[in-house]
Amino acid sequence: MRIGLLGTGNVARTLAHRWRAAGHDVLLGSRRPRERGDLGLPVAGLDETAAHAEVLVNATPGGASLNLIRSIGAPALAGTLLIDVGVGLSDDFRTLTHPNNSLGELIQEAFPLTPVVKTLCTMDATTMVAPGDLTEPGTVFLSGDDPEAKATTGKLLTDLGWPVSSQLDIGGITTARGQEHFAFLFMGIAGGVGSHTFNVKVVTRP
């Protein structure tokens, strides 16, 4: 697939390398693409990246994501699956920029013709692309209102190393709130285990 990733940070680059290794056509989107030619990945402007993409991935800082996506415009995004992996945190990591809802919900509300799927925001970039390196399989969550969009997202997660058995559809885009609010527990666990490379697993009764 043609995958456009908004952002050129660690998360965007890590995902892009892994999806490219799986055979996808990836393009990073930047507001200043001429300054980002040293990444070892193709980089273009935001509008060009959106036009290129069958699937667009928001990997920008969550507090700035909505305005950045709005700068592309709703017509350019209509019908394009948008996978949102962002979480909006304050500079001191003590508060959420969207404390009463979620970035995923706000993007879906602003772009009703763009199916939004929230996923991968409950882990660090290393775990996103190498879940099999952990001591046992963990869980990756999917939130979204469009079943076809979630099915496509699930296939792309499989290409990152997530088997179907590790993917958990938790419901509509409103459930993205729980994924994003997990950020505080994530930071607590990271302090407890002394690492950001870990994941959680949902276990149920037999």
b/e map 20-36, b = 16+ CB within 10 Å: eebebebbbbbeebeeb
What are the percentages of helix, strand and coil residues in the chain, rounded to 5?
45, 20, 40
pLDDT at 95: 87
b/e map 49-87, b = 16+ CB within 10 Å: bbebbebbbbbbbbbebbebbeebeeebbeebbbbbbbb
pLDDT at 92: 84
Q: How many CA atoms lie within 13 A of 155 on its CB side?
A: 11
Work out the angle between the directed axes of helices 103-110 and 62-72 (0-180°, nearest 10). Answer: 10
- What backbone phi and psi angles, to 5 degrees, belong to 80? -95, 125
Residue 196 CA: distances (Å) to CA of 61, 133, 146: 18, 13, 31
Residue numbers in the chain where pLDDT is lower than 50 = none
How many angstroms separate the CA atoms of 7 and 28, rounded? 6
How many angstroms separate the CA atoms of 56 and 6, rounded? 7
Secondary structure (3-state) at 154 = helix
How many angstroms separate the CA atoms of 47 and 60, rounded? 15
pLDDT at 93: 80
Q: Which contiguous run of DSSP H or E holds residue 29? A: strand 25-30
pLDDT at 90: 84
Q: Which pair of tokens denotes residue 201?
A: 């697993």
